[in-house]
Amino acid sequence: MKALIVERYGDASAVRAGDVRDPQVGDQDVLVRIHAASVNPLDLRTRNGDFKVILPYRVPFVLGNDLAGVVVAAGAGVTRFTVGDEVYARPDKNRIGAFAELIAIHQDDVATKPTTLTMEEAASIPLVGLTAWQALVERANVQAGQKVLIHAGSGGVGTIAIQLAKHLGASVATTASTSKVGLVKDLGADVVVDYKKQAFETVLHDYDVVLDTLGGETLDKSLRVLKPGGKVISIAGPPDPTFAKELGANPLVRLVMTALSFRTRQRARRRRVTYSFLFMRASGDQLREVTSLIEAGTIRPVVDRVFPFESIREALAYVEEGRAKAGKVVVRMN
């Protein structure tokens, strides 16, 4: 089958399109013919080797973290899906490979594709939808009336998180550039801080939850806008000891992660707030929850551009160079 292969960790020159063996299908796996897959910053960081200490993929490997397609075969133990089902998924972190014609995925990580979406729209959802759900519902337990700040509201995670937070009854603030203010307001943001004109930490106060998608100085400043007892959940900040434990990391890696996040956790404690790092996990059950919101019209995808598979390296460069205007970039398989 055709696939995008990472031959070594590195920059854009480290990947190529080529042929690889069809995946093996386990007893609990479905084999999916991929119609579309989306490009995520996670793909670029994986290619670069940023996560090779915690996700040591053996090169060469196929890149890609979420997809939509059709089931073409099923293992003997599969009970949830049959051949011909239209599905979408974020594969388990140890079984990525969505930039390909076929992928084998454990049935527990798969959900039926929303009937209201095209394959391209559906492919844009799994990773960012699960990230938003795990941050706002599972970890933050956002309640009606709370105040939630979502950074980079026009990005892939931000566009979904704004809509989910509004569904949960929160008052939502977000940061965006001047040209994206209208979009994020249309998605439901109550307060929009144009970061080109204002510093969010000077105008926002007493927030219950911050979803940080940027890390760095943005994460540090986010601690200032929380009220005592508030939570900042970051997908871009330093990994923390809890994540190391969940990962089952060895003692050395745990020590490194503890050290990396020490300064941030210390600052959070001084402000009587909490910091946690989120590396989303695959979950078909949670994706079904997202599906119900999509089919009810509560959440809608935002797709910036669709590339053909032949232009997948261009699609990666488009995302890496920050040219996407809003939402997700999708690759259509032949």
How high is the mean pLDDT of the chain? 96
pLDDT digits (tens, 9 = 90+) for 102-134: 999 999 999 999 999 999 999 999 999 999 999
Residue 290 lies in a domain: no
Residues 233, 305 within the same domain: no
**Is the pLDDT at 193 greater than 90, yes or no?**
yes
Identify each DSSP E strand in 113-179 by its residue range.
Answer: 147-150, 171-176
Residues 110, 184 within the same domain: no
> Which CATH number is 62's domain given?
3.90.180.10
CB burial class (10 A; 0-12, 13-18, 19+) of residue 20?
middle
Q: What angle do CA 270, 210, 50 make, to 5 degrees?
A: 90
How would residue 55 be classed by pLDDT, with cut points 50, 70 and 90? confident
Residue 157 lies in a domain: yes
Dist CA 174 CA 181 (whole Å): 9
How would residue 54 be classed by pLDDT, with cut points 50, 70 and 90? confident
Select from 237, 261, 277 the last residue of a domain.
277
pLDDT of residue 219: 97
pLDDT of residue 301: 98
Residue 77 lies in a domain: yes
Dist CA 227 CA 207 (whole Å): 6
Residues 137, 110 within the same domain: no
Residues 233, 160 within the same domain: yes
CB burial class (10 A; 0-12, 13-18, 19+) of residue 139?
middle
Residue 289 lies in a domain: no
Q: What angle do CA 156, 69, 72 make, to 5 degrees?
A: 155
Select from 277, 292, 320 the last residue of a domain.
277
* Closest CA relative to residue 261, chosen from 271, 269, 272: 269
Q: What is the mean pLDDT of residues 86-91?
A: 98
CB burial class (10 A; 0-12, 13-18, 19+) of residue 36?
buried
Residue predicted with more confidence, 54 or 64: 64
Two structure tokens written together for 149: 């700040």
Dist CA 283 CA 130 (whole Å): 8
Q: What is the mean pLDDT of residues 22-51?
A: 97
**Is the pLDDT at 52 greater than 90, yes or no?**
no
Residues 38, 148 within the same domain: no
Rounded to 5 degrees, φ, ψ at 329 are -105, 135
Residues 113, 139 within the same domain: no
Dist CA 331 CA 334 (whole Å): 10
pLDDT of residue 246: 87
Residue 293 lies in a domain: no
DSSP state of 23: P
Residue 233 lies in a domain: yes
How would residue 298 be classed by pLDDT, with cut points 50, 70 and 90? very high
pLDDT digits (tens, 9 = 90+) for 219-275: 999 999 999 999 999 999 999 999 988 888 889 888 989 999 999 999 999 999 999
**Is the pLDDT at 278 greater than 90, yes or no?**
yes
Per the structure, the complete domain to which residue 202 belongs is given by 127-277
Residue 287 lies in a domain: no
pLDDT of residue 334: 78
Number of domains in the chain: 2
Residues 103, 169 within the same domain: no
Q: What is the mean pLDDT of residues 306-325?
A: 96
> Which CATH number is 267's domain given?
3.40.50.720
Residues 138, 174 within the same domain: yes
What residues does 5 pair with on adjacent strands?
16, 62
Q: What is the mean pLDDT of residues 55-63?
A: 94
Residue 294 lies in a domain: no
Residues 119, 132 within the same domain: no
